[in-house]
Amino acid sequence: MRIQEALQKGSLELKHCGIENPGLDARYLLEWILECNHSYVLLHPEQELSVNQEHRYQEAIEKRTKHLPVQYIIGEQEFMGYTFHVDENVLIPRQDTEILVEEALKRMDAESSDEGRKITVLDLCCGSGCIGISIKKLRPETDVTLTDISEAAIRVAEKNAGSLQADVKICQGDLFEGVQEKKYRFLLSNPPYIPSRVVDTLMPEVREYEPRLALDGAGDGLVFYRRIAKEAPKFLEDEGYVLFEIGFDQAEDVRKILVDAGFEQIQVRQDYAGLDRVVIGRKTAE
Ligand code: GLN
């Protein structure tokens, strides 16, 4: 089979199974199998696939027809310009989460200029490690700790720290459980925040393949914000920051949770679609 045919055939199969961007996904899978980029595929439509490549491509297309996300098939996702290894034990990093990282970086840069000491960062519910590891890569002078309740997620985060050569601490535990009781300047978290009953209504890619543990924020979706906000002051320096990723309709609830826990200077940031996506608070100085 030639490249052009493979793309057409794959795309058609995906389309029949209700995949949203069949052409794009077929191309990503083929590029992954051929270990080439987009322009190569465009410039060599007549190139024949080897028997092995054709077989592997067919297998990948079949997985995608069952709604397995492309990222789990190819085993990676880009985040903040870095390639993160992913499997079904971790949430696939989302572009919207980059906003949380950018908001944290802005505040770190303002801090380091006037103090010059190591900024401590804690990434709770780290999953693949995309938040904490990107921060360490982009601001190597930080001291970053990541934690997650899932042992399998911790293994993925460790693999990413290794492949990206990020010198971070990674520990397993329920929220702050595995974390040393020291004071952090920044607490970052994209916790599970989808109300339980909503999880089952999400697209099959998410509800059937992404880890429920990483998505389900229990009854009203806010349980982790409440738990984190309650304990956070103990782990934060005075005037330290908490930055949460939130669901599009949770800004007011999370603002209130933070205010009730004693945080001030609450700010809300929107994502690329204009929806509320990040809430930031600052611990009151004692
Ligand atoms: N911190 C990871 C991410 O943003 C995982 C989040 C989670 O598992 N809820 O992708």
What does the pLDDT look like over 207-236, one tens digit per residue?
999 999 999 999 899 999 999 999 999 999
Strands (E), the chain: 76-79, 82-85, 120-124, 143-148, 169-172, 184-189, 236-245, 263-270, 276-283
Region 31-50: mean pLDDT is: 95
Q: Whose CA is nearest to atom 7 of ligand 1?
A: 214
pLDDT, position 180: 80
Ligand 1 atom having least distance to the Cα of 97: 4
Task: Name the pTM for this structure.
Answer: 0.94
- Asked if residue 116 has pLDDT above 70, the reply is no
SS3 content of the chain, % helix, strand, coil (to 5): 45, 20, 35
pLDDT, position 122: 98
Residue with tokens 């054709």: 54
Q: Can you state the angle between helices 130-138 and 151-163, rounded to 10 degrees?
A: 20
Q: What is the dihedral of CA 57, 60, 66, 72, to 10 degrees?
A: -160
257 C-alpha to center of ligand 1: Å? 20
User: How far apart, in whole angstroms, are the C-alpha atoms of residue 29 and residue 45?
Assistant: 15
> What does the pLDDT look like over 119-130, one tens digit per residue?
999 999 999 999
Q: Whose CA is nearest to atom 5 of ligand 1?
A: 127
> What does the pLDDT look like over 9-35, one tens digit per residue?
999 999 999 999 999 999 999 999 999
> What does the pLDDT look like over 73-99, one tens digit per residue?
999 999 999 999 999 999 999 999 999
pLDDT, position 113: 57
214 C-alpha to center of ligand 1: Å? 7
Q: Whose CA is nearest to atom 10 of ligand 1?
A: 93
**Residue 176 CB-half CA count within 13 A:** 20
Which of 90, 146, 187, 245 is the best mutation target for the ligand 1 pocket, counting ligand atoms within 8 Å of the beta carbon and taking the most? 90
Give 117's pLDDT tier (boundaries 50, 70, 90).
Answer: confident
> What does the pLDDT look like over 145-173, one tens digit per residue?
999 999 999 999 999 999 999 999 999 99
CB 221 within 8 A of CB 198: yes
Ligand 1 atom having least distance to the Cα of 93: 10
- Asked if residue 138 has pLDDT above 70, the reply is yes
Q: Whose CA is nearest to atom 1 of ligand 1?
A: 126
Which of 87, 91, 148 is the best mutation target for the ligand 1 pocket, counting ligand atoms within 8 Å of the beta carbon and taking the most? 91
> What does the pLDDT look like over 168-195, one tens digit per residue?
999 999 999 999 877 999 999 999 999 9
9 C-alpha to center of ligand 1: Å? 35
> What does the pLDDT look like over 240-276, one tens digit per residue?
999 999 999 999 999 999 999 999 999 999 999 999 9
Q: What is the mean pLDDT of the chain?
A: 95
Give 114's pLDDT tier (boundaries 50, 70, 90).
Answer: low
Ligand 1 atom having least distance to the Cα of 189: 1
pLDDT, position 249: 96
156 C-alpha to center of ligand 1: Å? 12
CB 143 within 8 A of CB 177: no
| Lining residues, ligand 1, CB within 6 Å | 91, 93, 97, 125-128, 130-131, 190-192, 214
CA end-to-end distance (rounded Å), the chain? 70
